[in-house]
Amino acid sequence: MRNDIPDKRTETDESQADVAAAVGVTRQTINAIERERYDPSLELAFALVDHFDCRIEDVFEPDD
């Protein structure tokens, strides 16, 4: 699953650690999601979009 988390972090001037702390996971989890090595659970995906105050479609896009 492709994602725009790095872009969202840039827009909000946050580190991976900042986002991880805000949604209750480790920095390594955010890194793995950004590198598309790990697909977040629905709960985590919604926590991320809630944190960035946007829609799920604004952050995540399924692979073709």
Mean pLDDT of the chain: 96
**Per-residue model confidence (pLDDT) at position 62:** 86
**Per-residue model confidence (pLDDT) at position 37:** 96
Reduced to 3 states, what is the DSSP secondary structure of residue 49? helix
Q: Please, which pLDDT band fits residue 57 given cuts at 50, 70 and 90?
A: very high
**Per-residue model confidence (pLDDT) at position 35:** 97
Reduced to 3 states, what is the DSSP secondary structure of residue 61? strand
What DSSP assignment string belongs to 1-46?
Answer: -EE-HHHHHHHHT--HHHHHHHHTS-HHHHHHHHTTS-PPPHHHHH
Domain borders along the chain are 2-58
Q: Which residue has the tokens 């793995």?
A: 32
d(CA 26, CA 17): 7
**Per-residue model confidence (pLDDT) at position 63:** 80
Express each pLDDT in 27-55 by its tens digit: 999 999 999 999 999 999 999 999 999 99
Quote the pTM value: 0.92
The CATH number assigned to the domain with range 2-58 reads 1.10.260.40
